[in-house]
Amino acid sequence: MALHIEKVTEKNRADILALSVAASQEGFIETTAQCLREAEEDARFIPVGLYVDEVVVGFAMYGQFGDEQAEAYVWLDRLLIDAQYQGKGYGQAFLQMLVEYLQERYATDVIYLSVYPNNTHAIRLYERFGFMFNGEVDPNGELLMVKDVR
C-alpha cells in the first residue's frame, strides 16, 4: 500500500469533489468544493488529494501566509479523510506526511492549524503529533494550534 499526495488538477478534481466527511463532522470543515473555490480566489492555498495507491481517500490544503519571510506563517489549513476510509489510520499517516512535507517545502520551524473546540477527535490527533494550543482564536471561533518542528 503506497500513500502519496498529489496536487488537485482537472484530472483528479471530480474525485476530490466527491469526498465527504461523516455527517457528524460536517460542521468541522468546509466541503472540498468550498475549499477549491477558496484556493481559486487565493493562490496561497494549495489543495492536494491524499491517495492510497491510486484511490483518493482524503484532501488537505496548506499554504504560507504573511508578507515577509520573518513573519510568514505556514498553515495546514484543511485535512479530511473521506467517511468511508476513516478509522483505518489514514488521518495519522497523512498528518505525519504533511508535517514533514511542509517543514521541508517551507523550511519552517512552526506549523499552524485551527480546530473547532468541540472537534475533540481531531484535537486528540493533533495533540498526539505535538500540536499545542497557543491561546489564540480565529475569527470563525476556531482555536489555533502550533507545532514546533525544530
Tell me the catalytic residues. Answer: 126
Nine-digit cell string for 62: 496548506
Residue 57's Cα: distance from chain center in Å? 13
CA distances 104 to 24, 95, 97, 147, Å, are 34, 14, 11, 14
Say how far apart CA 45 and CA 30 lie, in whole Å: 14
| 28 contact partners, CB below 8 Å, separation of at least 6 | 21, 115, 116, 119, 122
Count how many residues are written for the chain: 150
